A and B are shown apart, each in its own frame.
Chain A
Amino acid sequence: MVHWSAEEKQLITSLWSKVNVEECGAEALARLLIVYPWTQRFFSSFGNLSSPTAIIGNPKVRAHGKKVLTSFGEAVKNLDNIKSTYSKLSELHCEKLHVDPENFRLLGDILVIVLASHFTRDFTPSCQFAWQKLVSVVAHALARKYH
């Protein structure tokens, strides 16, 4: 089980309470698809992904980004139980979606960059440390049921 210090929990939950999940989620997913274009392979049904402008404005990208980050919120609410929180989602990503777990790490790092750009100086090095740990734990939990 992952150990979270009181400070780490505080840094995570207090930042999360200020996150606009819809905006940040949409931005994180859009940046993933723009910065690492090969990740578009999972979204052939999303329509126009032909340019950064198209991706940012794509309503399916926005909706899915919101969905992904809302799910991330479950980790924040269940910091002491992230493995079981994502058990079913892990199976889904392996068996149905066939997503290489490396993509979870890529998205996690993009999320950290998006948070940095939104919170600027408030996204202190300590804050980044706690969030890098969280995205890493989430990525690990999502990869856990792969076979």
Chain B
Amino acid sequence: MVLSANDKTNVKGLFGKIGGAIEDLGGEALDRLFLAYPQTKTYFPHFDLHQGSAQIKAHGKKVAAALVEACNHIDDIAGALSKLSDLHAQKLRVDPVNFKLLGHCFLVVVAAHHPSLLTPEVHASLDKFLCAVGNVLTAKYR
């Protein structure tokens, strides 16, 4: 799976239009992840996992920042997220299936907050982008 020039344009355009609001989208995506897929909570035993908790909001900002970083270096996502990739492989070891789940929840929050921006073409590009990010984060697992 390769990101086409169109995909890159679509993703950059989307992130550009969402702007700073993406921080909150990260938090809400996590809220939805933990509610819809309770097994994902097992990676956060040290967190207050009530909906909208300060810890979830803060972590959501981190996740959103990583996505923005990947978007800003969309021609070399592996390079941009290299340290995060090491972290997930060596320390966090989040099972790869969970990146798909979070990716899905992120799509849902974008759809809920910016329905007019998530045209079918942008939806396809964003889905591919999120897959690519997940692939990079799990690339060094074995």
Contacts and interface: CB of A to CB of B under 8 A. Distances in A.
Interface of A: 30-31, 34-35, 52, 55-56, 109, 112-114, 116-121, 123, 125-126, 128-129, 132
A125 B124 contact: no
Given A112-B108, A117-B115, A128 B123 contact: no
17 contacts: A30-B120, A35-B120, A35-B127, A52-B120, A55-B120, A112-B108, A113-B104, A113-B107, A113-B123, A116-B112, A117-B118, A121-B113, A123-B108, A125-B36, A125-B51, A128-B108, A132-B37
Given A118-B115, A120-B113, A125 B107 contact: no
Contacts, number: 60
Interface residues of B, number: 21
Nearest to B117: A117
B contacts with A: majority SS: helix
Given A31-B123, A116-B112, A120-B115, A132 B107 contact: no
